[in-house]
């Protein structure tokens, strides 16, 4: 009995040691060409290695290189602490509280350098739900690999030896197109609930299947996202919506049960049939722009996502007797207030959203000087693009969209002709109300041209 127990303990110990012994994947097997890594990331690795430290390109960049996708960012992991990293570079700053990192800047490029983190222990602060509040306990590379979220992100590329270091069969999972959590999925989601959103985003972006053990706890633990700071949720949602695969991400969120009652934004997108067509059209066009390498206006994107919530409330207020423009202003305030409880949309984006929304009724005013006043609006192009999107979704008249396109590109004579042929404004629009003169009191003197104003 004792002998069997000893053998069992030895077997478990051997297995544990094996999991910490990485596989060294040579360039002949992984096929990553060194010249695909930017000079800035190579320089960070070389500088730290010359100073006697370990330094590797890590995570998503290695994953993307392995599947022949150009990485958006290149991060570096090292055994040097932030205080040891910073002096080696002319432009470097230490950032973060929950995760202390170093940003090394080369012109417009920034390389994020992180120190190896230790595995979970009693030294890390957690909340009542198990969410990790601080993670600045440094460790070795094996511990760092174990605390990363998915196997395909726990890969280290040494540009000096051109070797990929793989602790958790991440290379094998990439070949199988499978997303698998490192460790116990439920415990890892409790440590950081945002990992559930990351699982959906990465799987949708790469076209991977989520491993069954990794997927199973998501629907049950979805409510934990309510404990995450709104700013972190906003950052992850922004990554999801600007990934170039936002439609696939949204559909996957619905499939995994992460939309209902969790984020008001997703409820709006997926639970309003009349708005789903508009939103999906906006997202598909955003995906096209991302894939084409074009600029994405975040304010415009969120204006699209929340438009039908604003529209619904706007119609309710008008039905209750509120005037059209004040009702829209009130509807915007109410919707934004509800959204910021869960999603910390930055003020600069909120300002863009408000301008885009408030321009929509102004496009309907096609008489007098109103169209000329709108031509000078700072966000005219964004407002018109939003109107055109409404037209494509059959929410705004195609004739109105066409008229404004012609008016924006016409000369003075053509604009005059367009104004002359425009439909008459709706009652109460396009004309200013004249102020009624208050009747003078009986016996009051009548002013003449020579009278001076009273002092």
Q: Give the predicted TM-score (pTM) of the model.
A: 0.74
Pairing of strands 92-95, 101-106: antiparallel
Q: Find the angle CA(51)-CA(53)-CA(54) to the nearest 5 degrees.
A: 140
Pick the CATH number of 308-421 from 2.40.340.10, 1.10.3090.10, 3.30.1490.20, 3.40.50.300: 1.10.3090.10
- Predicted confidence pLDDT, tens digits, the chain (455 residues): 454 443 444 434 333 444 468 999 999 999 999 999 999 999 999 999 999 999 999 999 999 999 999 898 999 999 999 999 999 999 999 998 778 899 999 999 999 999 999 875 545 555 554 555 555 688 999 999 999 999 999 999 999 999 999 999 999 999 999 999 999 999 999 989 999 999 999 999 999 999 999 999 998 998 888 888 888 888 888 888 898 998 888 888 888 877 665 555 666 666 666 678 898 899 999 999 998 888 889 999 999 988 998 999 999 999 999 999 999 999 999 999 887 766 778 888 999 999 999 999 999 999 999 999 999 999 999 999 999 999 999 999 999 999 999 999 999 999 999 999 888 766 545 444 444 555 555 555 444 333 433 43
Residues with catalytic roles: 73, 75, 149
- The closest of 374, 239, 363, 383 to 303, measured between CA atoms, is 383
Number of H helices, E strands in the chain: 22, 10
CA 320 remoteness from chain centre = 36
Domains 18-176 and 308-421 belong to one CATH topology: no
How many angstroms separate the CA atoms of 46 and 40, rounded? 10
How many angstroms separate the CA atoms of 289 and 306, rounded? 20
* Range list of H helices, 170-272: 170-176, 185-191, 194-206, 212-215, 218-221, 230-241, 246-255, 264-270
Pairing of strands 155-158, 163-166: antiparallel
Residue 56 contacts residue 77 (beta carbons within 8 Å): yes
pLDDT of residue 275: 76
3-state helix, strand, coil in the chain (%, to 5): 55, 10, 35
> How is the chain split into domains, by residue range?
18-176, 308-421
CATH topology of domain 18-176: Beta Polymerase; domain 2 (3.30.460)
pLDDT of residue 252: 86
pLDDT of residue 433: 45
pLDDT of residue 411: 94
How many angstroms separate the CA atoms of 37 and 364, rounded? 52
């Amino acid at each position: 009995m004792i002998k069997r127990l000893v053998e069992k303990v030895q077997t478990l110990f051997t297995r544990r040691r094996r999991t910490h012994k990485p596989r060294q994947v040579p360039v002949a097997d992984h096929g990553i060409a060194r010249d695909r890594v930017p000079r800035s990331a190579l320089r960070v690795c070389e500088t730290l290695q010359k100073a006697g430290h370990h330094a590797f390109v890590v995570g998503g960049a290695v994953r993307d290189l392995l599947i022949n996708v150009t990485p958006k960012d290149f991060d570096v992991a090292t055994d040097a602490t932030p205080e040891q990293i910073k002096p080696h570079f002319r432009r470097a700053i230490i950032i973060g509280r929950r995760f202390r990192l170093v940003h090394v800047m080369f012109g417009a490029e920034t390389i994020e350098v992180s120190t190896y983190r230790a595995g979970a222990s009693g030294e890390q602060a957690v909340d009542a739900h198990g969410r990790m509040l601080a993670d600045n306990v440094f460790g070795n590379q094996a511990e760092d690999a174990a605390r990363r979220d998915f196997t395909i992100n726990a890969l280290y590329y040494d540009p000096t030896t051109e070797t990929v270091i793989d602790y958790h069969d991440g290379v094998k999972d990439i070949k199988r197109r499978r997303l698998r959590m490192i460790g116990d999925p439920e415990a890892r989601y409790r440590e950081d609930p945002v990992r559930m959103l990351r699982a959906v985003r990465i799987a949708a972006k790469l076209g991977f299947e989520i491993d069954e053990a990794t997927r199973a706890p998501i629907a049950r633990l979805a409510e934990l996202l309510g404990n995450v700071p709104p700013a972190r949720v906003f950052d992850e949602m922004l990554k999801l919506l600007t990934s170039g695969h936002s439609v696939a991400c949204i559909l996957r969120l619905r499939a995994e049960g992460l939309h209902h009652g969790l984020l008001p934004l997703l409820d709006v997108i997926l639970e309003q049939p009349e708005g789903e067509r508009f939103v999906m059209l906006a997202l598909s066009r955003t995906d096209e722009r991302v894939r084409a390498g074009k600029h994405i206006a975040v304010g415009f994107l969120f204006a699209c996502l929340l438009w039908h919530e604003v529209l619904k409330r706007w119609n309710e207020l008008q039905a209750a007797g509120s005037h059209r423009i004040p009702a829209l202003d009130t509807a915007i305030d109410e919707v934004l207030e509800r959204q910021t409880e869960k999603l910390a949309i930055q003020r600069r984006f909120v300002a863009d959203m408000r301008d885009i929304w408030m321009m929509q009724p102004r496009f309907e005013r096609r008489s007098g000087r109103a169209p000329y006043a709108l031509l000078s609006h700072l966000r005219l192009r964004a407002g018109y693009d939003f109107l055109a999107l409404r037209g494509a979704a059959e929410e705004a008249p195609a004739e109105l969209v066409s008229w404004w396109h012609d008016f924006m590109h016409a000369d003075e004579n053509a604009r005059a002709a367009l104004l002359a042929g425009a439909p008459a404004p709706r009652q109460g629009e396009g004309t200013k109300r004249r102020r009624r003169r208050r009747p003078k009191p009986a016996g009051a003197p009548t002013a003449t041209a020579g009278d001076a104003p009273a002092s």
